[in-house]
Chains A and B, each alone.
Chain A
Amino acid sequence: MIMMRSLLLLCSLSTAAAFVAPGRHTSLQRSIINSDISQTGSSTELFSHKIVLVRHGESEWNDLNIFTGWADAALNEKGVKEAKQGGQYLKEAGFTFDVAYTSVLKRAIKTLWLVLEEMDLMYIPIINTWRLNERHYGGLQGLNKQETVDKHGKDQVLIWRRSYDIPPPECDESSEYYPGNDPRYANVDKADLPFTESLKITGERFMPVWENEIVPDIKAGKKILIAAHGNTLRALVKHLDGISEDEICGLNIPTGVPLVYELDDDLNVIPNENAIAPLRGLYLGNLEDVRARIEGVANQTK
């Protein structure tokens, strides 16, 4: 035991991450790491990075049970409350951030603004990228979920919603939902603008911003907050936690609840002992409530 502690002390004196095998930690190390989830004054500060993910709160279209995708629905009152609550949990847990990433959709941006306001961090730089947008729902955007079930059958809709790689039907090029008709995408390469997306495609267009922008920031020691959407966060946790295609489709990330990942210097996840499988990150808040809510989203189309 004492030898192990001395080793850890040596680690903190040198920058020898080599002593700590990437992705593998002894139970002693894990208990030291997990004993303090805050970023400041943590013994893990020297060889781990914490990033926080937040799925935007409930939007007006969640209420109406409409397929939203890239449609720019606003947060509803509940969504605003959720976001503020998320900010409070982060503040209470002693988090701070250096930079935030979000999409170009207002429900995520507003969520981010509310979190930053709660945390007195409105002054940090914010990076908006279409690559963090929700999955594009193709020709289903704007349609009511239940009506779509009535029309196409429960199984077909379930495939479009929860298949890993089968996208919904494409939207029409003349449609208001085709991103080429939206000024916010005016400078995006036409070839990158979707007519529809599956979770697989969503992940593929998200990963470049993770690899080229976010990872370098993490490695530079910046504390990152990502405020995004159900499917982009699914893509990210699938990558971080090595979750299978089947399992990721059924995974629900509850809205407005901060999800904290601790990463080692090679950006492998250091599992948290209070994580809810298959994720290895920690939700902040009442874990029983969170667990119940994870079950809840499954019931939106029956």
Chain B
Amino acid sequence: MFSAARSLTSFACRTGINHARVAPSVRSLAAFQTADKHTLVLVRHGESTWNLENKFTGWVDVPLSPKGHEEVVEAGKLIKEAGIVPDCAFTSLQQRAIRTLWHILEQTGLMWIPETKAWQLNERHYGALQGLDKQQTVDKHGKDQVLVWRRSYDIPPPTVDPSSEHHPSNDPRYADQEFPTDWTESLKTTLERVTPYFETNIAPQLKDGKTVIIAAHGNSLRALVKHLDNIGEDVIAELNIPTGTPLVYELDDDMKPIPQEGSFAPLNGRYLGDQDAIRARIEGVKNQTK
């Protein structure tokens, strides 16, 4: 029974044992009627304690702030109300995303679905800037330089010191991975590790008819939507994905997004929630370093 069951579950969603899949009667009728429509829900983690402190976070494992917890409980409710029922979940190795996912699973009554955690879905690593205050960094290096590090597509911040706590080789959760001594990331290099992971591990689940939810980070989700919606490098660097706001994609069999009414260009995904408030928030993130 085990080997047969294993062969049913593809690699990415494999927990080895849990084969839970939602019965057709529970899916939203629209989603089930169109056999070639695949639902992908993206959620950027809620506000973290360091968002509040205005620090470069990257791979630092900060928790959600109280507001962040509330945001993502709300996200779970919105997903439930929309009748979306994920079959499996993906997230990063960082607690602010994992906790976001857990809140959503609790709200939707789906705590039992298989969840896969992958470093490839982590936030962009901020190199030597990790842990530093954003405004102080501007005061030190100048607004323009910092803007380049933050919003350039392919210019990474300086590399992190290999002996630093911020180098992944010093964190047990990355013990199975080899990271180069000179480690830092740009949005470009982030995309280079997000996209293959999506293609190899997540796309097969979607093609298999599963509804997938990904709880991740600003830059890993930027990388993903750039890939899905074929967004240009200049545009993606400026694109803000609001925290704790479910972003729903309907993909065809080739994983191309199906345009939806109510989406905000350049995305083909549709946000759930108060559309005016969301639009305002999309403008908001730009103001963190002036």
Contact = CB atoms under 8 A, between A and B. Distances in A.
Given A183-B23, A187-B20, A128 B95 contact: no
B95 A122 contact: yes
Contacts of B113: 128
A127 B102 CA distance: 14
A186 B117 contact: no
B20 A185 contact: yes
Contacts of A105: 112
B83 to A, nearest CB: 14
Nearest to A101: B17
A147 interface: no
A230 B108 CA distance: 26
A5 to B, nearest CB: 31
A100 to B, nearest CB: 11
A126 B111 CA distance: 11
A208 B16 CA distance: 12
B18 A183 contact: no
Nearest to A72: B109
Nearest to A128: B18
Contacts of A212: 2
Given A110-B111, A123-B95, A128-B114, A183 B21 contact: yes
Given A123-B98, A123-B117, A186 B23 contact: yes
B117 A125 contact: yes
B17 A128 contact: yes
A128 B19 contact: no
B115 interface: yes
Contact of A113 (B5, B61, B102, B172): B102
A123 B1 contact: no
A131 B112 CA distance: 13
B200 interface: no
A74 to B, nearest CB: 9
A192 interface: yes
A174 to B, nearest CB: 15
Interface residues of B, number: 31
Given A122-B99, A123-B94, A187-B5, A209 B111 contact: no
Contact of B17 (A96, A109, A127, A183): A127
B247 to A, nearest CB: 23
A213 B21 contact: no
B22 interface: yes
A187 B21 contact: yes
Majority SS of interface residues in chain B?
Answer: loop
B21 A129 contact: no
A188 interface: yes
A70 to B, nearest CB: 12
Given A208-B2, A213-B16, A184 B102 contact: no
B173 A123 contact: yes
A109 B112 contact: yes
Contact of A127 (B15, B172, B173): B15
A126 B115 contact: yes
B93 interface: yes
Interface size class of A (residues with CB under 8 A): 20 to 34
Contacts of B114: 128
B26 interface: yes
Interface in B39-96: 61, 93-95
Contacts of A30: none
A192 B1 contact: yes
A200 interface: no
A51 interface: no
Contacts of A96: 172
A246 interface: no
A129 B112 CA distance: 9
A129 B93 CA distance: 22
Interface in A183-213: 183-189, 192, 208-209, 212-213
A187 B117 contact: no
Given A110-B111, A212-B2, A183 B20 contact: yes
B8 interface: yes
Given A129-B17, A131-B17, A189-B1, A123 B22 contact: no
Contacts of B115: 126
Nearest to A104: B112
A185 B94 CA distance: 29
Contacts of A122: 95, 98-99
Interface in B1-34: 1-2, 5, 8, 15-23, 26
Nearest to B116: A125
Contacts of B93: 123
Interface string B211-254: 00000000000000000000000000000000000000000000
B6 to A, nearest CB: 10
A134 B66 CA distance: 34
A187 B22 contact: no
A45 B201 CA distance: 35
A72 to B, nearest CB: 8
Contact of A129 (B1, B18, B99): B18
Given A122-B95, A128-B17, A130-B18, 10 more contacts: A106-B106, A120-B95, A124-B117, A127-B16, A183-B20, A183-B26, A184-B20, A187-B8, A189-B5, A209-B17
15 contacts: A113-B102, A117-B99, A123-B94, A123-B98, A123-B117, A127-B16, A128-B17, A131-B17, A183-B20, A183-B26, A186-B19, A186-B22, A187-B20, A209-B17, A212-B2
